[in-house]
Copies of this chain bind each other. A is one copy, B any other.
Amino acid sequence: MRTISADVNSLLAHYQTQINERLEEFFDKKVEEASRISNYPREVVIGTKEYTLRGGKRLRPIFCILGYKCLTDHNLEAIIAASISLELMQSSLLVHDDIMDEDELRRGKKTFHIVYENLCERRFGKNKARRFGENIAIVAGDLLEAYGEEVLAKSSFKSDYVKRALATYAEIVKKVGYGQILDITAERKGSFSEDDILTIHKLKTASYTIEGPLHIGALLAGADEADLQILSAYGVPLGLAFQIQDDILGLFGSEEKMGKPVGSDVREGKKTLLILHALERCTEDEKELLTKALGNERVTVEEIDTVRAIVQRTGSLDYSKKLVAEMTDKAVQAIKISDFRTEAKDSLINIADFIGNREY
């Protein structure tokens, strides 16, 4: 795996640099636009720039570029410029997500609403500072969504292609919305079925992170229905594999490689296929231990070890690993038999292998 991993990393890094450059240029224009109105919007736009550029793997724009490259190699500058629409959508959804989850940190720095809560406290006083922070963040999210739309609508591709890409863009936002409603309601209700979790993964990860971006890129290259179907046959299983691998790493990954404390999924009580599967197959005693640990903010290292042991004993870890391998394989097969351009195919196959075997 070492070579593929190195290849994929350099492939990702290559695009990340270009995507970040385009994002920077885009935001600088928006800062200028907002500053023609007044200093307040200007400050907020600078905030959205910082928030978007502070990190992130840029997977969505990269899949958009690769979807395009499945069909053509012309006009790569234009597709890289258009691909940032997906990162702007992502940024919009993250800003809103952070409010909903009441998270204080995102990528190691303050979430948007917390930045503005603090700013309010400093400038205008503590009274209702959280409300102010959340309000600015709601608008900032709406703004970022409009930015994403704008980038696509103003891209230089054929109008027929852009029209279809924008319909898909709206479709992605819609699916994430449906998935989010299911997620927060089931969470609040405290009961998830395996079906619920798979549906949420499909809507919030598979469609949003992989299939949707691939489609948008391909559509901007003039893809037909058959092309899109191949990309779905790759993107949907890979998206599920990606999410399940994420859950595995969240419990068994190396803290060092992940860059976040292992066991935080347990602490947050995140409902994963891994846990659900274990809950359905464990003894009553084990169930009690799991239930006690999940969502417990003061869960101990020993308790997390117990969770790990139960997940292993019940075969849940093996089951999940097998699913990841199967799904990754399915994705790879779908793309292999396509007649897409070789370079893009290779990249997509490498990325799939990388996702199926990643350690972070």
- CA gap between A87 and B124 in the complex, in Å: 35
A171: which of B124, B142, B150, B159 is its contact (CB, 8 Å)? B150
A174: which of B147, B152, B171, B180 is its contact (CB, 8 Å)? B147
A154: which of B100, B152, B167, B182 is its contact (CB, 8 Å)? B167
A181: which of B40, B145, B170 is its contact (CB, 8 Å)? B40
Q: Which of A128-136, A261-269, A274-282 sits within the interface?
A: A128-136
1/0 contact trace for A150-193 toward B, CB 8 Å? 10111000111011101101110110011111101110110000
With contacts A124-B189, A138-B99 taken as known, whether A174 is within 8 angstroms of B162 at the C-beta atoms is no
A53 contacts the other chain (CB 8 A) = no
User: Restricting to A65-120, which residues have a CB under 8 Å from any CB of B?
Assistant: 93, 96, 99-100, 102, 120
For this chain, the copies found in one complex come to: 2
Residues of B within 8 A of A120 (CB): 188
A251 contacts the other chain (CB 8 A) = no
Contact B37 A199 (CB under 8 A): yes
A295 contacts the other chain (CB 8 A) = no
- CA gap between A60 and B199 in the complex, in Å: 36
With contacts A37-B199, A159-B159, A163-B162 taken as known, whether A135 is within 8 angstroms of B173 at the C-beta atoms is no
With contacts A147-B174, A149-B166, A163-B153 taken as known, whether A184 is within 8 angstroms of B136 at the C-beta atoms is yes
A139: which of B34, B181, B199 is its contact (CB, 8 Å)? B181
Which range contains the number of A residues in contact with the other chain?
35 or more
Residues of B within 8 A of A150 (CB): 167, 170-171, 174
- CA gap between A348 and B343 in the complex, in Å: 56
Residues of B within 8 A of A182 (CB): 37-38, 40-41
- CA gap between A199 and B40 in the complex, in Å: 12
State how many angstroms separate the Cβ of A137 from the closest Cβ of chain B: 10
With contacts A170-B149, A189-B124 taken as known, whether A177 is within 8 angstroms of B96 at the C-beta atoms is no
Please give me the residue from chain B that is nearest to A174 by CB atom: B146
State how many angstroms separate the Cβ of A4 from the closest Cβ of chain B: 35
A132: which of B138, B174, B188 is its contact (CB, 8 Å)? B188
Q: List 11 A-B contacts (CB under 8 A).
A: A123-B189, A139-B180, A140-B177, A143-B173, A143-B178, A145-B145, A145-B173, A146-B177, A147-B170, A150-B170, A159-B160
Known contacts A142-B145, A159-B163; 17 further A-B pairs (Cβ under 8 A)? A38-B196, A40-B186, A41-B182, A44-B181, A124-B188, A124-B189, A136-B184, A139-B181, A139-B184, A141-B142, A142-B177, A143-B174, A145-B145, A149-B166, A150-B170, A159-B162, A163-B163
